[in-house]
Each structure stands twice: as C-alpha cells, then as structure tokens.
C-alpha cells in the first residue's frame, strides 16, 4: 500500500527545483566567498525583518567581507539583531563598543543606529509587516467571506488515487453579484497539474450567497482557497502508519532541516501541508511542528525569506483577517513586496486594492500601473479590469487593445462580449453591437452569471435604436 507517495514526491520536487534567492542560498554564497551577492541578499532580507540576515551583515562589516571594514556599522547591525532577540548579537555589539574608546564614538554609534532603525529596526518591522496569528481561520464574523450554498466535490483523479498521491491546489476567483463563481485562477499546485482540472471543473459550479453592502449585491473579488486532496484513511492505513513512518523519517528529517536552515521553498510547501487535516505528509510533519499556528509561522518565515508566493498569501490573509488579525496596511506591504518581485497575482491584487475609493490608499493611476504589469504577464482578470477602466474613461482604442489579448484566453466570456458590443456601438456598427450584446447575454445565462449589467446595456440600446430609427 503506497501510503507515503506524497512525502517522496514532496521531497524529490523540492530537491529538483532550482533554489531561489533566500537565506540558504545567501549563506551558501557567503560560505564560498561570494561576498557581494551574499551581502545584497542579506540586505534585501533584512528589510523583511530577517534577524539572521541582519546579524550576518554585522559580521561582514566586522571582518570587511564584501564591504569596507567598519566597526560602527558592525555595532549598529549587531544592535539591530539584538532587538530581534539574538543574544549573540547583543554580546558582539557590547564587545565592539568596548573597543571604540574615543569620545566621539558614542554619538556616531547612536546616530548610525537611529538611521538604520528607520528601515531595518524591530519596531519598524513590528509596525509594518509582523502579523498577529491565531489558530482560528476567522476570528471576526465581519471577515468571513460570502457563504457557500452549493458545492460540487472535485473528482479525485483515478491515477493519483491508485498511486496514493495526495496534494493541494491554491486557487483564486471572483464571486459575482448573483453568487456565481467566475474567472478561476490556479495560482499554484502540488504536484503540479495533477489535481488542477478536477478542482477547476468543480469550483466553477459552486454558488455563494451574494455579498451584500448597504442592501446592494456586490462583486466579491479574489476569493482565495487552498483545496487539499487526500485519500481515505481506513483501518488498514491506521495499522500500517506507524511502521511505514519509520521508513521515511529520514526524508522527513531532511525536509525539517531544510526549513530550519532557511530554504524558503521548503518552508512554503510545509506551511501548505500544515493547514490540512488528514494528509500523510501533514501527520508526519506535525510530529515536529505541534503548535496550533505552525502553518502560519512557517508561511511568515518563507515570506521573510523573500518567497513571493508566501508573501502574497500572507498579505491576502492580513487583508481578509484569515488565520491572523486583519491589518490592511501590513497586508498591502506584503503584497507590494511580492508584486515588486514580479508575482503577477500580487500585482493584480495590489491594483484592485488601490482602486477601492473607500480607503486612504486609493490611487487610480498607481492601481492601473500594477494592473498593466499583471496584464503584461497574461493575467486574465487584469486584462478584464483594464478593459472596464478604459471603457469608463471612453478610451476605446486602449480598451480594444486589451480586449484583443483577453479574447485569446476566453473568446466567449460574457464581459468581453459586452465590451465588444460597447466598442462596436461607439463605432456606429449598431447591428454588430446588438449581436454581440445578445451573445453576451446568452453566455452569461449559460454560465449562470450575473445578468443585470448586460440586460441594462441591451435595454439602453433599444431606447437608442427607437430614437434613431
């Protein structure tokens, strides 16, 4: 009975993937004498609150590795690391201070530390990035997303089931004003593509209660979901679990070691397993990470290590108050870090958040730039929303450019067909516009999506047609 296929796959995949820049790779650069790239990476991680990276910068200033030797800078970086709780850093700062005996040094030390604290200090990190986790998915009822009222179970792929393969899919979608799921994005999956089609086909048929704000139904954007596939755990499984666990403990220990050494990718994958219940990998990993918030803690560790997927998920959780105290500003800060790394889903979400006129961060121009960045990578919802923005601004030329790109991904999409109808009407091609609007309504009915916007356009068009026979 192949109970541990998941663990083997997880271990093999992580070892085969190219290591991204993180604490582990920066440390490897340092240990092989590649001081300049190591310093740059340590400094990037230091901005995210990585205490070991902060400490290592102090070491490099102390010995002049990749930078000019500077005891004042070394003292300041060690002092920062001490504020994050590193006792070795506190001892190092104290020893350096004893070496600096000239009268002007105390002022120089204080001035340099104040400056670094503005960007790298613990209080700055605490105020701008550090989440407050909880073990409940949602602490406040106000943070709970629209209630799902109809669910279609994903069909477990036969080959995966027979081989004992388990996994997860991270997806994101909108819930329209009628409660229908639309425009499903698969952000990530493990194993890649094994379960994608199964969950995609199921989720498109789910229904939710519409989001009501002041008595009006509204679109709920970017509903995020981590869906786990797990095989049935019967008596045979329970009887053999302990015995087979011993056979794979070495591989599990290597995963644990990778996470604790600062491999951001390993931390990310383990975080995803730890939020499940009955996975083989989950049960094994929880024997080491037993705290209730272990999944969130590892997600934060991976985000601090610079992994964009983790930064985006952490930011999304902060915005919606999922497994953490809701904090919009911290959520936006994590989204920004992921977006600046080129992660298209973060770029899109950041653009959407900046379009919210009810918030202090509202900035239409900045939002549009982030949507454009996502659209350049083929992000469908970014293209869809840019079309809407350009049509609202009566910029039909740019709307048509985005529309051409979006139609390559879904040429029957109701929103795109409606956009075509609007552009054709502006071009005075009334017959073609009428046909596209009818097609949009037909497709929306077929998908059981919200119809009102299309119906309003058709009704308005009828009035215009009567006025211009």
Q: b/e string for 414-436 if b means 16 or more Cβ within 10 A? A: bbbbbbbbbbbbeeeeeeebbeb
Residue 245 confidence (pLDDT): 64
pLDDT at position 271, please? 94
Is it the case that residue 14 has pLDDT exceeding 60?
no
Dump pLDDT digits (tens) for 62-74.
Answer: 999 999 999 999 9
Query: Do residues 240 and 103 both lie within one domain?
Result: no
Q: Is the pLDDT of residue 19 over 50?
A: no
Judge contact between 402 and 387, C-beta under 8 A. Answer: yes
Lowest-confidence segment of 180-189, 210-219, 239-248 by average pLDDT: 239-248
Contact of 196 with 189, CB cutoff 8 Å? yes
CATH number for the domain including 219? 3.30.2420.10
Strands 322-324 and 148-150: unpaired
Distance, in Å, from the CA atom of 259 to the CA atom of 451, rounded to the nearest integer, reads 48
The pLDDT score that the predictor gives to residue 283 is: 76
> Between 252 and 66, where is the model more confident?
66
Residue 105: what pLDDT? 84
Name the percent of the chain lying above pLDDT 70.
89
Torsions phi, psi for 286 (to 5 deg)? -70, -15
How does pLDDT run across 73-114, given as a tens digit for each residue?
A: 999 999 999 999 999 999 999 999 998 888 778 899 999 999
Does residue 335 sit within a domain? no
Per mean pLDDT, which range of 59-63, 109-113, 169-173, 278-282 is the poorest?
Answer: 278-282
Q: Within this chain, do residues 255 and 209 fall inside the same structural domain, yes or no? A: yes
- pLDDT digit string (tens) for 341-394? 999 999 999 999 999 999 999 999 999 999 999 999 999 999 999 999 999 999
- C-alpha to C-alpha distance for 69 and 58, rounded to whole angstroms: 10
Q: Is it the case that residue 409 has pLDDT exceeding 90?
A: yes
**The two three-digit tokens of residue 34, written as one number:** 């590649």
* Whether residue 95 is found in the same domain as residue 210: no
On whether both 72 and 121 belong to a single domain, the answer is yes
> Can you give the pLDDT at residue 18?
43
Neighbours of 201 (CB within 10 A): 13
**Is the CB of residue 347 less than 8 Å from the CB of residue 308?**
no
Residue 240: pLDDT over 60? no
- Give Cβ neighbours of residue 19 (< 8 Å, ≥ 6 apart): 25, 263, 265
Residues 305 and 165 in one domain: yes
* pLDDT at residue 468, rounded to an integer: 55
Mean pLDDT of 459-463: 70
State whether 58 and 181 are in the same domain. no
Is 199 inside any structural domain? yes
Sign of torsion over alpha carbons 380, 457, 389, 350: negative
Q: Which of 128, 156, 175 corresponds to the end of one domain?
A: 128
Determine the pLDDT at residue 3: 46
For residue 277, being part of any structural domain is answered with yes
How confident is residue 425, by pLDDT bands cut at 50, 70 and 90? very high
Domain boundary among 128, 159, 184: 128
Percent of the chain with pLDDT over 90: 74
User: Is residue 375 domain-resident?
Assistant: yes
User: Is residue 75 within 8 Å of residue 97, measured between CB atoms?
Assistant: yes
Same domain, 47 and 85: yes
419: which residues sit within 8 A by CB, 6+ positions away? 387, 388, 391, 399, 403
- Ordered DSSP codes for 434-463: HHHHHHHHHHHHHHT---HHHHHHHHHHHH
Residues 290 and 145 in one domain: yes
Please give the model's pTM, rounded to 2 decimal places: 0.91
Q: Is the pLDDT of residue 261 over 80?
A: yes
Query: Worst-scoring range by mean pLDDT, 108-112, 200-204, 220-224, 247-251?
Result: 247-251
Own/partner long-range contacts of 237-240 (Cβ < 8 Å, ≥24 apart): 237/1, 237/3, 240/1, 240/3
- Mean per-residue pLDDT for 431-444? 96
SS3 49: coil
The Cα 63–Cα 299 span in angstroms is: 33
pLDDT digits (tens, 9 = 90+) for 155-164: 999 998 888 8
Does the pLDDT at position 6 exceed 80?
A: no
Mean pLDDT of 187-197: 94
Q: Clarify whether residues 168 and 238 are in a common domain.
A: yes
Q: Which ranges constitute the DSSP H helices of 355-395?
A: 364-376, 380-392
| Total tally of structural domains belonging to the chain | 3
Question: Computed over its alpha carbons, how large is the radius of gyration of the chain?
Answer: 26
| In-domain check, residue 330 | no
Q: Is 276 helix (H, G, I), strand (E, B) or coil?
A: coil
CATH number (domain holding residue 363): 1.25.40.10
Same structural domain for residues 149 and 298?
yes
Residues 180 and 310 in one domain: yes
Residue 184: closest CA among 192, 193, 175: 175
In a domain, 430, yes or no: yes
Has residue 4 got a pLDDT over 90?
Answer: no
Residue 47 has pLDDT above 70, yes or no: yes
**DSSP H or E segment with residue 319:** helix 308-320
Lowest-confidence region among 25-34, 281-290, 309-318: 281-290
CB 424 within 8 A of CB 393: no
- Domain membership of residue 60 as a residue range: 5-128
275: in domain: yes
- 107, 128, 149 — which closes off a domain? 128
- The answer to whether 139 and 321 have CB atoms below 8 angstroms apart is yes
For residue 142, give both structure tokens: 């106000």
| Strands, E assignment, 302-380 | 322-324
Position 331 in a domain: no
* Judgement on whether residues 153 and 119 belong to the same structural domain of the protein: no
> Residue 431: pLDDT above 90?
yes
Determine the Cα–Cα distance for residues 267 and 274; give it in Å rounded to an integer.
Answer: 10
What does the pLDDT read at residue 236? 53
Residue 10's pLDDT is 57
């Amino acid at each position: 009975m192949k109970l541990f296929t998941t663990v083997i796959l997880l271990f093999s995949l992580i070892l085969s993937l190219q290591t991204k820049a993180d604490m582990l790779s920066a440390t490897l650069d340092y240990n092989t004498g590649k001081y300049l790239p190591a310093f740059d990476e340590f400094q990037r991680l230091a901005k995210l609150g990585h205490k070991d990276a902060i400490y290592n910068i102090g070491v490099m200033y102390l010995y002049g590795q990749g930078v000019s030797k500077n005891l004042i800078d070394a003292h300041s970086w060690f002092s920062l690391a001490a504020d994050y709780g590193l006792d070795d850093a506190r001892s190092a700062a104290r020893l350096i201070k004893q070496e600096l005996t000239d009268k002007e040094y105390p002022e120089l030390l204080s001035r340099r530390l104040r400056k670094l604290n503005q960007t790298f200090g613990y209080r700055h990190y605490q105020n701008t990035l550090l989440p407050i986790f909880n073990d409940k998915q949602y602490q406040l009822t106000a943070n709970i997303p629209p209630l799902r009222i109809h669910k279609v179970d994903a069909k477990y792929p036969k080959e995966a089931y027979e081989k004992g393969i388990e996994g997860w899919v991270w997806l994101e979608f909108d819930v329209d004003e009628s409660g229908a799921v639309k425009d499903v994005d698969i952000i990530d999956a493990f194993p890649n593509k094994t379960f994608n089609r199964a969950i995609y086909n199921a989720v498109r048929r789910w229904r939710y209660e519409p989001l009501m704000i002041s008595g009006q139904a509204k679109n709920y954007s970017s509903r995020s979901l981590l869906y786990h596939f797990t095989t049935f755990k019967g008596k045979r499984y329970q009887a053999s679990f302990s015995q087979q666990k011993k056979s794979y403990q070495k591989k599990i220990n290597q995963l644990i070691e990778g996470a604790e050494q600062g491999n951001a990718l390993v931390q990310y994958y383990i975080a995803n397993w730890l939020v499940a219940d009955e996975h083989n990998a989950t049960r094994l990993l929880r024997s080491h990470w037993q705290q209730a918030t272990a999944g969130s803690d590892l997600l934060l560790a991976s985000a601090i290590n610079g992994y964009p997927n983790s930064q985006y998920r952490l930011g999304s959780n902060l915005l919606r108050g999922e497994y953490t105290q809701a904090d919009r500003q911290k959520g936006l800060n994590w989204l920004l870090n992921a977006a600046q790394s080129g992660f298209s889903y973060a770029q899109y979400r950041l653009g959407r958040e900046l379009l919210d006129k009810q918030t202090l961060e509202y900035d239409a121009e900045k939002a549009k730039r982030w949507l454009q960045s996502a659209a350049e990578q083929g992000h469908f919802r970014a293209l869809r929303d840019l079309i809407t923005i350009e049509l609202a601004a009566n910029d039909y030329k740019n709307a048509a450019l985005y529309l051409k790109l979006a139609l390559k991904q879904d040429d029957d999409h109701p929103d795109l067909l409606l956009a075509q109808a609007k552009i054709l009407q502006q071009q005075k091609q009334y017959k073609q516009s009428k046909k596209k609007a009818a097609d949009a309504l037909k497709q929306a009915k077929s998908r059981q999506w919200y119809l009102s916007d299309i119906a309003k356009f058709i009704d308005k068009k009828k009035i215009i047609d009567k006025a211009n026979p």
